[in-house]
Amino acid sequence: MSRDRTSRRLPVIITLVVGLMLTIMPLPESIRAFRPDWLALLMIFWAMQLPRTWSVGSAWVVGIVLDVSYGTLLGQHALALCFIVFITVRFHLLMRVFPLSQLSATVFALLAIYQFLLFWINGVAGVVAPATAYWGPVITGTLLWPFLFMFLSGVRYRASSGG
């Protein structure tokens, strides 16, 4: 693998590993329902910025790893991540020119779709969860998106400029 390809992929892999660690990190019961969907946010960002490298296939792999780490129905998060990443890749050129407020609203919609798919799959499987388990991550993820977007844009710029 060439040095250029490695330097482009390494920041993405590191952020996804950190996102997985933040996702499975134990939290107190009172704030557990408001944990952001870190991997969904990261996959939306990287699919929007690098759609040819990080798209539906990588979302499937990340989703399977998330399913195994959570111990949930195998393929549940993979399907939901693939769906929102497909939408992101499909409209990535349009999303790149959105102002940050409009992009945050779009991320809210994508996270709501992600949680709806998880809700639907859990309903079919007979798993019951409170409403805050579905709406909490959508709200906190949307509130964190502008900060995450600016941070990851800086990471991507430093990785692409070689410094």
Under the banding of pLDDT at 50, 70 and 90, the label for residue 9 is confident
pLDDT tens-place string over residues 50-101: 999 888 999 999 999 999 999 889 999 999 999 999 999 999 999 999 999 9
Q: Are 68 and 24 in contact (CB under 8 A)?
A: no
pLDDT tens-place string over residues 101-143: 999 999 999 999 999 999 999 999 988 888 888 899 999 999 9
Which tokens hold the place of 79? 């399907």
pTM: 0.93
Query: Which candidate, 107, 105, 91, places its Cα nearest to that of 152?
Result: 107
